[in-house]
Amino acid sequence: MSERRFGAGAVLALDVGGTKIAGAVLDSRRQIIATGQVPTPASAGAPAVLDAMAGLVAQLRGKSSEEILGLGLGAAGVIDPANAQVASATDTIAGWAGTDLRTELLARTGLPVRAVNDVHAHGLGEARAGAGRAAKQVLLFAVGTGIGGAHLVNGQLLSGAHHVAGHMGHIDSPLAAGLPCSCGRTGHVEAIASGPAIHRHYLRLGGDEGVLDTRELTVRAGQGDELARRALHTGALAAGMALASLGNVLDPELIIVSGGMAGAGDLWWQALRAGYAASAIDPLAHTAIVPAQLGNDAAFYGAASLFWPANERK
Ligand SMILES: [Zn+2]
C-alpha cells in the first residue's frame, strides 16, 4: 500500500444506539483493526452512557500502536456537529438531550471529540468509504426500524439548519393515508414502509398473528404467503415513491439504499424500484440505485472520517 498523505494516526469510532454501543479502531490506512461492543445503560441516564462509552474507548485504544487522533461518534438523537452536542433526543436514552459530548468525553478520555447523528454517520461512511466513494452527490436512504438517510455532496454531509436533514420517513405518502407515524402525525411513509409498519400492515390485512416480526414475515413472503407479499410489496412501493420524491428535488448522482429492509430480498427491491419508476420524473429514470456496501461498519467509517481531511475518500 502506498504512503498515505495523512498517515499520522488512528481514529476511534463509536456507534451509539439505544441498546448497544459499538466501537472500532481505524488505523492511518483507514482500515478497521479492532472492534468492541458494550450494552447502552440507557435507562441509567446520560452520565452512565458516557461512562460506558469511555470504558469502551479505554478497551479499544490499547489495540492501536499508532497515536489516536481523536474520537469520532455517530450517536442517537439530533446531533449538532459543530459543537458535538445532543441538540434534542427522544427518551430512549434517559436525559440524553442537551448532553455535551465534546466536553464530557474529553474529560473522560482526553481525546478530541467530533460527532454526528448515527444515520448521518452511515451516510458519511458509505459516501467516503463505501458504495458512494466515487460519486459527487449521494443520497443515502435507510429503511429499517425507522426510515432516515443523508444527503452528501463531495463526501460532505448536508445536515441542515437544525441538524435534522435526512428525516426521510416523514414524507407524505398516499399509501400511508391515515396511518399514525412515529412523529405523532399521520400519513408519512414511515407509517407504511418501515420494518415494523410492514408487519403492522400484514396484521391489518388479516395475516397470521403467529408471525411475530418483519424478519419472519419476509421469510413467509418468500414461501408464497400472499398477505406477507402484499404487505412487503406495499411498503417497498411506498418507500420507492418517497425515494423518487427526494430524487426529483435533489437529483443525486447515486442513491444508496441501506437498513434492514434492504436485506429483505428481490420482492422488496423490485417493488422499491417500481415505486421509484412510477414517481421519478423522466430525466431521473435511470439514476443508479444500489445497495449499501459497508453494513454496520458504515457508521465507524463515517464517524472516523470526521478526523480525515475534508476531501479525502478511502
Ligand atoms: Zn412522521
Distance from the alpha carbon of residue 20 to the mean position of ligand 1, in angstroms: 25
Residue 43 maps to a domain: yes
Residues 68 and 177 in one domain: no
The pLDDT of residue 5 is above 80: no
Distance from the alpha carbon of residue 172 to the mean position of ligand 1, in angstroms: 8
Distance from the alpha carbon of residue 61 to the mean position of ligand 1, in angstroms: 39
Residues 201 and 287 in one domain: yes
Q: Binning pLDDT at 50, 70 and 90, where does residue 258 land?
A: very high
pLDDT in tens, 187-224: 999 999 999 999 999 999 999 999 999 999 999 999 99
Give pLDDT, residue 289: 98
The pLDDT of residue 121 is above 70: yes
Residues 173 and 283 in one domain: yes
Residue 28 maps to a domain: yes
Q: Binning pLDDT at 50, 70 and 90, where does residue 7 land?
A: low
Residues 94 and 160 in one domain: no
What domain range includes position 251? 131-291
Residue 298 maps to a domain: no
Residues 66 and 145 in one domain: no
Distance from the alpha carbon of residue 250 to the mean position of ligand 1, in angstroms: 20
Residues 165 and 286 in one domain: yes
Give pLDDT, residue 3: 42
Q: Nine-digit cell at 238?
A: 411506498
Give pLDDT, residue 310: 80
Secondary structure element (H or E) that encloses residue 89, with its range: none
The pLDDT of residue 4 is above 60: no
Using CA atoms, how far apart are residues 262 and 15, in angstroms rounded to an integer? 20
Question: Which residue is associated with the grid cell 429514470?
Answer: 285
Residue 3 maps to a domain: no
Distance from the alpha carbon of residue 101 to the mean position of ligand 1, in angstroms: 27
Residues 44 and 26 in one domain: yes
pTM of the model as a whole: 0.94
Give pLDDT, residue 213: 96
Give pLDDT, residue 8: 78
Distance from the alpha carbon of residue 183 to the mean position of ligand 1, in angstroms: 4
Residues 63 and 181 in one domain: no
Residue 83 maps to a domain: yes
Using CA atoms, how far apart are residues 211 and 200, in angstroms rounded to an integer? 11
The pLDDT of residue 15 is above 50: yes
Three-class DSSP category at 154: coil
Residues 158 and 92 in one domain: no
pLDDT in tens, 48-58: 999 999 999 99
Distance from the alpha carbon of residue 299 to the mean position of ligand 1, in angstroms: 24
Residues 102 and 16 in one domain: yes
Q: Do 229 and 185 contact (CB within 8 A), yes or no?
A: no
Residue 169 maps to a domain: yes
Distance from the alpha carbon of residue 49 to the mean position of ligand 1, in angstroms: 28
Residues 215 and 236 in one domain: yes
Share of the chain above pLDDT 90, in %: 95
Pairing of strands 137-143, 147-153: antiparallel
pLDDT in tens, 292-307: 999 999 999 999 999 9
Give pLDDT, residue 313: 80
Q: 131 Cβ partners below 8 Å, 6+ apart?
A: 254, 256, 290, 291, 292, 293, 294
Residue 307 maps to a domain: no
pLDDT in tens, 33-89: 999 999 999 999 999 999 999 999 999 999 999 999 999 999 999 999 999 999 999
State how many domains the chain has.
Answer: 2
Distance from the alpha carbon of residue 238 to the mean position of ligand 1, in angstroms: 14
Distance from the alpha carbon of residue 223 to the mean position of ligand 1, in angstroms: 32
Give pLDDT, residue 276: 98
Residue 87: closest CA among 99, 103, 104? 99
- Residue where a domain terminates, one of 69, 93, 124: 124
Residues 213 and 258 in one domain: yes
> DSSP for 237-302?
HHHHHHHHHHHHHH--SEEEEESGGGGS-HHHHHHHHHHHHHHS-GGGTT-EEEE-SSTTHHHHHH
Distance from the alpha carbon of residue 53 to the mean position of ligand 1, in angstroms: 30
Distance from the alpha carbon of residue 187 to the mean position of ligand 1, in angstroms: 7
Give pLDDT, residue 312: 82
The pLDDT of residue 1 is above 80: no
Residue 310 maps to a domain: no
What is the average pLDDT value for the chain, to the nearest integer?
95
The pLDDT of residue 2 is above 60: no
CATH of the domain at 75: 3.30.420.40
pLDDT in tens, 145-193: 999 999 999 999 999 999 999 999 999 999 999 999 999 999 999 999 9
- Residue where a domain terminates, one of 124, 159, 179: 124
Number of Cβ atoms within 10 Å of the Cβ of 103: 13
